[in-house]
Amino acid sequence: MEKRGNEMNIGSGKSVFGVAAACLMTFSLLACAPEGGERRSEEGLELVILHTNDTHACLAGTDARGNASLDGCDSSGGLGRVAAAVKAAKAERDNVIAVDAGDQFQGTLFYSVNKWPMIAEIDRAVPWDAMTLGNHEFDEGCQELARFLEKTPVPVLAANLAPGEGCPLRRGGTIPRLIKIVRGEKVGIVGLANDKASMLSSACPQTAFLDAKETLTREVGELESMGVKHIVAVTHLGLPEDRALARSVNGVDVIVGGHTHSYLGPAPSDGPYPVVERSPDGSPVLVVTAGRGAKYLGELTVDFDAKGVPSDWRGSAVELTSDLPVDPDVRALIDRYAVTLEELRAEPLGRNDLALPDGMEMCREGDCLSGMVTTDAMLEYGRPFGAVAALCNGGALRAALPAGVITRGDVLAVHPFGNVVFLREYSGKQLLAALEHGVAGARGNGPQLLQVAGLRYEVDVSRPVGRRVLKAEIVGEKGNAVPVDPEARYVVALADYLARGGDGYAMLEAGKVVFAPDPTVLDVTVSYIRKHSPLPSPSCGRLVKRS
């Protein structure tokens, strides 16, 4: 009997990870599966899919404040626990595959200092069967990505990647699909890379991406012609796109996704685990994703009927709590790479005694401390050149400013991209269009959300996209506020990423250049913290959301 919706979700407490604490003595999670966990379907295959996405170089997990741990002490989550769980599962059972849905790059000081060679070493420790490419894999450009592809042992699947003449990725390193044999049955895995990498990251101009629906349809046809009837797509397109794909392509059984950092499971969440969609022929398609930062390991068990159609499913995104074991190979890497951070962590800049919302997710939802400090710093730098406002996209902010002493390493963790501060003159109309674009995502959230200084704006996220900004004002140094005039001209400080149209900000590409030095966002922020320590309480209420 086919299970619909969330009928087989973790509400029953039957996830094979549900009794993980009792398994610690054997360092095995799946070994402690509840009754039925070892059963083989009499008619078809039972397949266990372990999955991660958007791990963002989170080797050592996160501390109690949600900041990336740099030593693994008093932390939860992290790639060390992912590796231990996957190795234990594969040692215990013969029907487990493990996949990663991209964005292994970027996000912690570990990565900012050590870059892709560290990720390639981690990939040798975590036994993933396949991965795809997120947008952040392109952050250092296609040449560096090509070098990573030569070193990682994990098969990298990117069926929609179409590098043109002159792109370093043209020499190979990715494959469109692979086939695994599980209990004598063929399981096809197709990868779809993030197709917005040219806009969101630093993919070279010669890099193109094929249409996701057409690509997946073609790849399913290829696999079916080889006798494959169990097909898993691993994508970095985002949950809404994954759900749309599930409804539009026949033959796909499971979509493992990433990019939107969505968590599926008990409320509050972005949906049940798994989300069950219907393909055009009516077959169920199970869509899963597992948050971000290696906080969770997704575990989906699927029973297929004799025709290869999912007939039963169960599982959850399992939180990797602090009592779970850390893989010794990853532990050794954490210890070795922690040494490379010592100098940066030893250089104090100032103090933070404030208790304000902060961190990667908060900066994509509303005012956050690191966003306010960054834009205040950019505006302070830009005022002598005529700047009246500053903009920073939430996705540029990769960590929270810690409580207590702030070091250069802490600020580098917040700003790992090496962006520089540009000054541009825009019309009020362009500025209002940018604010609208920033709140165009679901509930007005997302990496494109604008952190601001010298501005405040109010939005109603229940209104249609493009009509959400209710009012916007320029706020002077003395606190006086005047509405943004569509016909007036304003000098704005912003990162070169936005000034070049990144994150879909095409309206910001057309700004008039205001000549000034181009310091990095990192250096401007460092100087501001040195000058203003302990950090003063910033003016809040820069973004007010209504619904």
> With the CA atoms of 97, 102, 107 and 111 taken in that order, what torsion angle do they form, in degrees rounded to the nearest 10?
80
- Distance (Å, rounded) from C-alpha 319 to C-alpha 30? 15
pLDDT at 112 over 80: yes
- Distance (Å, rounded) from C-alpha 192 to C-alpha 212? 7
CATH of domain 10-338: 3.60.21.10
With beta carbons less than 8 A apart as the criterion, state whether 409 and 109 touch.
yes
Strand, helix or coil for residue 475: strand
- Distance (Å, rounded) from C-alpha 48 to C-alpha 84? 16
Taking alpha carbons only, the member of 382, 389, 368, 354 closest to residue 543 is 368
pLDDT at 439 over 90: yes
What is the torsional sign of CA 11, 13, 14, 18?
positive
Strand, helix or coil for residue 388: strand
Question: What was the pLDDT predicted at 27?
Answer: 35
Over the stretch 359-368, which tens digit does the pLDDT of each residue have? 988 999 999 9
- Distance (Å, rounded) from C-alpha 364 to C-alpha 361? 5
pTM of the model: 0.83
| Overall average pLDDT of the 47-56 stretch | 97
pLDDT at 28 over 60: no
| Overall average pLDDT of the 491-518 stretch | 94
pLDDT at 32 over 70: no
| Overall average pLDDT of the 92-99 stretch | 98
Taking alpha carbons only, the member of 144, 150, 79 closest to residue 108 is 79
At CB < 8 A and 24+ separation, what contacts does 218-221 make? 218/159, 219/159, 219/176, 219/177, 219/190, 220/188, 220/190, 220/249, 220/250, 220/251, 220/252, 221/251
> Tokens 């501390």 appear where?
63
| Overall average pLDDT of the 10-19 stretch | 36
Over the stretch 173-182, which tens digit does the pLDDT of each residue have? 999 999 999 9
SS (H, E, C) 132-157: CCCHHHHCCCHHHHHHHHHHCCCCEE
- Distance (Å, rounded) from C-alpha 119 to C-alpha 111? 8
Q: Which residue has the higher pLDDT, 200 or 170?
A: 170
- CATH 3.60.21.10 intervals, the chain: 10-338
pLDDT at 4 over 70: no
- CATH 3.90.780.10 intervals, the chain: 347-546
Burial of 544 (0-12, 13-18, 19+ CB in 10 A): middle
* The CATH number, out of the four listed (3.30.200.20, 2.120.10.30, 2.60.40.10, 3.90.780.10), of the domain defined by the range 347-546: 3.90.780.10
Return the exposure string of 31-62: e unless at least 16 CB atoms fall within 10 Å of the residue's CB, then b. Answer: bbbeeebeeebeebbbbbbbbbbbbbbbbbbb
Q: Which residues pair with 362 in a beta bridge?
A: none
**pLDDT tier, 63 (very low <50, low <70, confident <90, very high otherwise):** confident
Assess whether the previous peptide bond of 268 is cis (omega < 30° from 0).
yes
Separation in Å, CA 16 to CA 20, 36, 296, 320, 374 = 8, 10, 14, 14, 44
Backbone phi and psi for residue 395, each to the nearest 5 degrees, phi listed first: -70, -15
**pLDDT tier, 67 (very low <50, low <70, confident <90, very high otherwise):** confident
Among 39-43, 55-59, 83-87, 211-215, the range scoring the smallest mean pLDDT is 39-43
Phi-psi map region of 115: left, alpha, beta (phi>0 left; psi -120 to 50 alpha) = left
% of the chain residues with pLDDT over 70 = 92
How remote is the C-alpha of 139 from its chain's centroid?
A: 13
Question: What was the pLDDT predicted at 385?
Answer: 97
